[in-house]
Each structure stands twice: as C-alpha cells, then as structure tokens.
A and B are shown apart, each in its own frame.
Chain A
C-alpha cells in the first residue's frame, strides 16, 4: 500500500485525494510530454467543457493521444493547433455530446429540476402579477342582485315585516335558558321530556301573534332583501338579527 492510499483513508487525506482526483485530467496533460501550445489547447478545451471528472480525464486522454499521433506523423505543433479549430466551439460541442452519454438517472434529474424551476418561475410571475396589479371590478353583482328587488312593489317584500318583528320580539322567559354564542336562543334543543318543555309550550302560545306574522311574511312573493356591500356593519347586524329570529321561529315550525 503506498503513502497516497494510506492518506486517502483519513479525512484530510480524503480531501487531498479528492483534490488530486479533480485535477487528474491536468495530470494526464502534464505527463503527456506534448509541446506547450498543444498542452494549452487540450487544457483549454477540457477546462471549458465543464464536464464531470471522469469525462474530463477521458477527453484529455483522447486529445492528448490525438496530438501525439499528429506529432508522430510529422505534423508541427502550430499546424495541429490550427487544424484543431476553435477551442471554445470544440469545448461547447464536446460538452453537449458528452452529456448525451450520461446515465438515464442524470437526464431524469435534469428534467425534474427544469420542471421545478419552471413551476417556481410561474409562481414568481403570478406573485409579481398579484402584487403589481389592483383588482379591476368590471361587474357590480350587488347592483344586479338588488335591481329586481328595488324595481318590485315594496308591498310584496317580506324583509321589512321580519325587521319589525325582530325589533318587537318579546324577551325570552328566563326558564328557557340563555342566548348562545351567536346571539340565538337554543329553543330547538328543547324536546319532549326536557324539564323546560312545558315552559316552552307556554312561551309559544304567548307569541302566537308574532308566529302568525312570520307565516304571513313567509307567504309573501319575495324576501326583498337589499344587499348593501358598502355598509358592511348594517349587513352584519341584519344577518345576526335574522339568525336570532330563525332560532326563535324554528320550534314553532317544529311544533
């Protein structure tokens, strides 16, 4: 076992071996005995090709062998360099061709990486687009929804009746419980057998006029609710009230 093999076993030796491995192609050129200009030509081609280590060694060995054959055939170094052609073009073409000989997993990895990059680019463009632009409202859906309601006879609208009922709704007897988190009564949970069921029956009798009004409103041709997106607070208040009325009227509907 030589000293280099022993060194390669240690971490420091490993890095030395890796460094030497990276420069293996350079060693091939330097030990070839080629004239300076030919060695420089090979070095430039291999360096510019930016290939994998083993590929670089292979290209360097082949170009060295090529120039050695030329020298053996009696050609001068100058002639061989001029016949070689453009170094940059050669490096580019050699890189392109050598990459085609790489294993299938490398090609798969390349396409996956390209796909990921394309998706990232699309996302980046979308982010820029969303940040740079402001919404351009082309259609007022609220106005379209409200138009038939506003045009219709207000006497057929149930919503004003419901609002009046909500305002005048009698307080719930304490025996029937409290409001839930959304501000509605929990009357629909009171079923036969519940100790509060009797109190609820009494309560429903006491609000028979209001329930009759609800039924009358429900029979009207339209709800007549006007969407007002500009006054969000009023909309939310109306929604809460409607929910409360619904919770009060549900047991009556079930009764």
Chain B
C-alpha cells in the first residue's frame, strides 16, 4: 500500500528512530528492516532515507560512524552505522506519545480501529 508523502513524513522519521532504539544500523539494513517489519507500508526509497538520516544527524538525534563491516559481509569494506543519541531517545519518547494521542483521536473518530489505536487509553498520560 502506498502512503501519501505528507503522512509518511512524520511516520518515517519516527520509524527510523524506533529501529535505531534497539541497536545501531547501517543504511541498507534500515531500508530492509523498514520494508520487512512494516510489510512494505513504510518501505522508502534510498533517495528518501539518506536525506532523512542526514537531517536527523544535523539535528543531533542520531550520530554516525564509519566502521569495518563484520567478516563475511563482502570482504573488508566500511559501512556507516547510525545510532540514537540521548537527544534522539528523548525525541523518540515524545514522538511516540504524540503518535499514540493521534492514533487514539483517530480511533475515537472511527478512522482507524481502536485495537490499532490502543483505545482511548492510548491518549491517557499524553497531555
């Protein structure tokens, strides 16, 4: 399913921050993970992903470092790994709350099913 760019803008950033919450990842891995874990809904072209990563880096939400790829990943070559900063972690928390509130509100309107939205409880504690 193709998502409108305007809707994807905020969600894409949140998804990338969420993926980096658990561990550091490199560009191709992020693309694959996004596509696989969202069943292709949040699959984004690299032409969108890399500028997004650079923007997040400019805002200090993630940081990047070049490292040798682990053995067996196509010989000795480097990859750029991205990881969440403290600031990025705080931003992720904040964005998650806001999206939960948004989903709750849409659930109350019947735009999305309350099981997805997390019910009215999803909005509790947001404000």
Q: How far is the CB of A77 from chain B (nearest CB, A)?
A: 14
Shortest CB-to-CB span from A147 to chain B, Å, is 68
The residue from B29, B47, B51, B80 contacting A61, defined by CB atoms under 8 A apart: B80
Is the contact region of chain A dominated by helix, strand, or loop, or is it mixed? Answer: helix
The one of A66, A68, A72, A96 that contacts B51, using a Cβ cutoff of 8 Å:
A96
Does A222 count as interface, using CB distance less than 8 angstroms?
Answer: no
Chain B residues 20-46 with CB under 8 Å of chain A are 26-29, 31-32, 45-46
Q: Which residues of B contact A73 (CB under 8 A)?
A: 28, 32
Whole-angstrom distance between the alpha carbons of A68 and B79 in the complex?
10
Contact (A70, B28) CB under 8 Å given A84-B46, A93-B51, A94-B50: yes
Chain B contacts for A63, CB-based, 8 A: 46, 50
Closest chain-B Cβ to A90's Cβ sits at a distance in Å of: 3
A70 neighbours in B (Cβ, 8 Å): 28
In the assembled complex, A71 has its CB within 8 A of some CB on chain B: yes
| B residues contacting the other copy or chain, number (CB 8 A) | 27
* Chain A CB within 8 A of B93 CB: no
Interface 0/1 of A60-96, CB less than 8 Å to B = 0111011011111100000000011111011001101
Query: Can you add 10 more A-B contacts, CB < 8 Å, to A65-B78, A87-B47?
Result: A62-B27, A62-B80, A71-B74, A83-B45, A86-B45, A90-B50, A94-B50, A97-B50, A97-B51, A97-B58
20 A/B residue pairs, CB under 8 Å, sorted by A? A59-B50, A62-B80, A65-B69, A65-B78, A65-B80, A66-B27, A68-B74, A69-B29, A69-B74, A71-B74, A84-B45, A84-B47, A85-B47, A90-B46, A90-B50, A93-B51, A94-B50, A97-B54, A100-B54, A101-B54
